[in-house]
Structure 1
Amino acid sequence: MDRPLTEPPEPGRTARFRTGFGQRVLLTVDTEEEFDWSGPFTRDRHGLTHVPAIARFQEFCEGLGVSPVYLVDWPIATNALAVEIIGDAVRARRAEVGIQLHPWVNPPFDEEISVRNSFAGNLPPELERAKFMALRDRIEQAFEVQPLIYRAGRYGLGPQTAGLLRDAGVAIDTSVRANYDYSAQGGPDYRNHPLEPYWVDSARTLLELPLTTVYFGLLRRQGRLIQRVAAHMPHLPGILSRLGLVERIALTPEGVTASEAIKGIDMALDDGLPILVLSFHSPSLAPGNTDYVRDARDLDRLYDWLRRVYDYLDLRAVASTTVAEIMDNVER
């Protein structure tokens, strides 16, 4: 029996890509409603005021020659303006659309709202499936394409999620946030998951594409061990980072500087990672919705981060890729 997505893969499941594919980068956007990340989860206390800003971002990506993947959740998939902006780009083959499940705002609303239930994989399997299928069908109807990639909101995979994705015809999951642990909140622990893409099932029908987070510094090879020790010594990571010994770097403009990201890119490429996965949340495209973009200067920094990172990727001969291209080049 195949292991669930919440566990590291079985040996020998690392995905290989055709000769000439090289090292690539995929830009993913958690395209979602605005809400208070520090407050309680609610069904209705959220906004979509940033949606018009997606148009500017899409134009920016096209200027870079990048085709972003919009991982949309229920409020986005049911918003006419979001569907128009993203749908136009998808039809022009300048973007792709995928699925992101935020269970607390996604019907059917049969569960109690709680931190634990904000991880969709913690829901009863039939309810996780019902919410997922409602969203999948809505996306297919709104955008007139079959979504082939999934990210669980809050990275909340569960023991039954892999089977659900296979049944729904989803080819790629990108929910695993390697080197992160959400178990204190009732979520998954991804500290032992690999960064390399891997096959979830022995039939090679579902590919896992983890988000890229690496360790940098003299002790980077001991990063995962240090992370475990830090569970009992919470100040340790900050001390080691200031000493230049080890720091964890996620490839995101949210809370990570461009200089830090470039160091992370070097580590990932030098380790031979075939696909780098960048990510951020769409509410950051307008000031005031997240702690990462509080004003216009922060927004300028986000766009500057993307420019600098893609300039560096170009320097390192790392081309942008798409879900379709990944599926065309992965060896089965």
Structure 2
Amino acid sequence: MKKENITIYDIAKEANVSPATVSRVLTGNAKVRPQTMRKIVEVIEKYNFRPNSLARSLLYKQSKMIGFILPDINHPFFSTLVQKSEAHALELGYTSFLCNTMNSSENESKYLQSLIEKQVDGIIYLGGRINDTDTDEDYAEEMKNVMKRIPVVFVNGQMAGVDAHIVRTDEESGIIKLVELLINLNHKKIGFVGGLKGISSTEVKKSAFIKTIKSKGLEVKEEWVLDGGFNIESGEEVAAQLLYLRERPTAVVCVNDLVAIGVIKVLTKFGLQVPENISVVGFDDVYLAKYYPPGITTVSQNYDLLGQTAINILVDLINEKEAEKETVVPTSLVLRDSCKIYSE
């Protein structure tokens, strides 16, 4: 017999036992007489037998595969988080399917069905429909049907009516830290830019911003709170709007680092220096934030801990163990050179 073609049935034939007995030895789920076990183990070792993934899934009722569903692999928040999560999953013996929906709910549904058909053991869900502040009833129903079959963990999101396990970063605390930093640097005219209405991460950050500004006795000016999006281009667009204001803020909090890069790019292009003329801070601490001049002060999403926590909870659910329903991962302030003391 060729080693690479060995099957459970070959092992059983040479050891003169049934395939079911070989399966019991491989799983360790039932008693096998010591002499019979020794005979089977000798044959297994003789051929260096390793059951393939399909065989393992039949034996252990697990495929040892998990799925990741995310809206945009180009966005460094998602790509970084998946990288950290996937590395930890591999350490625990799980391989991954990566499903990039390209911000399409239709694609999300296709991938959900595909992952079920591939018999993954569980799904990590990032962004997309779980970030909508108003949950679509059909999407919620679809998600509940999926969760009846396999465990799902939401990261930084939720769905009304869906009793999911959630892992999230403390985005509210992160925004509070940024605002308090700017106020301590003597800024009294502070804006908030980027993001989209109806997206939970935007609403959480914007609400925390407004609440903190008001709690410090400062004014929230509507023209300093500008929606736009989550990429560099949207940062450029909101910066252009800031340039046309009769009275500009002395500092702006951006919904993420990509928006901050776009804002700095346009402000610099039109002769405003960061942070000498205006302070700019971001959120996420993506790789570019450290290296885009002058170095962006931001909030770290704590990717390692966030990814590891999501995977650990999913694996616990796969193994039918108890797991925290909602876990909050702390954020931390990362000080760089894009903000400074404001002197009137």
TM-score (norm 1): 0.33
User: Who wins on radius of gyration, i.e. which is larger?
Assistant: 2
Higher relative contact order (CA 8 A, sep 6+): 1
Structure with bigger helix share is: 2
TM-score (norm 2): 0.32
